[in-house]
Structure 1
Amino acid sequence: MISEADQPIAAALFIESGVASIVKPGEQYGTAIGIAGPEGFCGTPLVLGGEYWPYSTIVQADRVTGIMIEASSFRQLVAEDADLRSVLLRSIQVKMVQLAEGLISNGQQRLLPRLARWLLMYRDRVGSDQLAVTHEYIAVMVGTRRSGVTAALHELEGAGLIRSSRGLATILNADALLALAAGGYGVTEKEHARLIEPEIYV
């Protein structure tokens, strides 16, 4: 657990490796609304002036390493450093786009394109074609039952796009997954490149 819903966030976390999930708490695993990795940070309410929000940020599939900055120190840094504040606000804009694109995907796309989108997003954040994820975790991320995820993974495996084993999904054909995602993947990534990557590579 990185931070709990409706509880003051103790620290901002800048992830160096691994993936965190932003979830609406509920029965069993809850409902996922987004993911964060080295491309962003955890602690959005601390930048926007709130102490917490109604979502939990958790590690479900693998371990996360990163840099934590205690909440009051982080708020002070944000207040005093205009350049840092600018980068963080742009990162939050990218996060808003990711959440919006997730809503669009969940509302308009069938399971296989949603699954392809999520696998590509996860791949971006771990920097590997080997994704250490369970069927239960994937079910939370794409908003369906575990049985539906298992059937969808078997279909992708049969088409040669992935290889699936217990606790591990290996992407074999990222280009085919991108085509399958059919626009569900790419908008957030372009926004990240526009707003964040120029700062990183200057």
Structure 2
Amino acid sequence: MEPIQVEVKQVLIVPDQPITTVHFPEAGWVSMLAPLEDGKAAEVGLVGAEGMVGLPLLLGSDRSTLEAMVQASGTLLRMGATAFRHALEECPTLRSLLLRYTLAFQQQVSQTAACNGNHALDQRLARWLLMAHDRAEGDEFPMTHEFLAMMLCVHRPGVTVAARLFQQAGLIRYGQGQMVVTDREGLEAAACECYATVRHHFEQLLGTTRG
């Protein structure tokens, strides 16, 4: 595997195009986005150091309907598709681990769909901030209201209002494209049950607290 540096908004997988490499994040994280006909996109999953980008190759396909876009810059380990397939054949333990991750990621995607359709914006925002915090290297990470609106598939003013309320409550602090989590327990209390549900599945399947 080859370590590479990636930057925000760098695209790793283009929908319906051959996947030639897989990526294992060491730092930073990647958003899995479902593109829509009007040019918008909705985030359906988040991948950090707990997982990999390029799951279709594990499951026997070389294409994805989703776009993989870097949301927080960092270091990724990159492996070519052919080498990855050989590694799966030679190491059953690797295949088993990645299949368990696939189950965990599937749960994250399913719970995201249920969450977006049933829970209030402030609950969804708290859940997403907790997911990002899990994958950040500290309490501070890059984030803008524009990016949050795209990730949550809502209009930017709604995100601005919810974020302002969280800041006034002392849960977060933000400005100049940076987000700081100042009260983790408060965010967990503000989030819906979806965060804890997905985190529980990740712990069961992978032994990680990232959900």
1:1-202 alignment runs, 5 A limit: 1-26=11-36, 27=38, 30-60=41-71, 62-197=72-207
- 1:66 and 1:29 mapped to 2: Cα distance? 26
Percent same amino acid among aligned pairs?
Answer: 34
SS at match of 2:13: coil
Residue 29 of structure 1, CA deviation:
5.2
- 2:61 and 2:89 mapped to 1: Cα distance? 14
Q: CA offsets, 1:46-83, max 9 Å, x none?
A: 000010111110113x3131111100110121122111
Contact 2:33 2:41 in 1 (8 A): yes
SS at match of 2:195: coil
TM-score by length of 1: 0.93
Structure with greater proportional strand content:
2
SS at match of 1:59: strand
Q: CA RMSD of the aligned region, Å? A: 1.4
Residue 127 of structure 1, CA deviation:
3.1
Moved more, 157-166 or 109-118: 157-166
TM-score by length of 2: 0.89
- 2:194 and 2:166 mapped to 1: Cα distance? 17
SS at match of 2:61: coil
Contact 1:12 1:41 in 2 (8 A): yes
SS at match of 2:78: strand
After TM superposition, which residue ranges in structure 1, 4 or more long, deviate above 6 angstroms?
Answer: none
Residue 166 of structure 1, CA deviation:
2.2
What stretches of structure 2 of length at least 5 have no aligned partner? 1-10
Contact 1:160 1:173 in 2 (8 A): yes
What stretches of structure 1 of length at least 5 have no aligned partner? none
Contact 1:32 1:141 in 2 (8 A): yes
- 2:182 and 2:39 mapped to 1: Cα distance? 31
SS at match of 1:52: coil
Q: CA offsets, 1:1-33, max 9 Å, x none?
A: 111110111111010000100001245552111
Moved more, 96-105 or 27-36: 27-36
Aligned length: 197
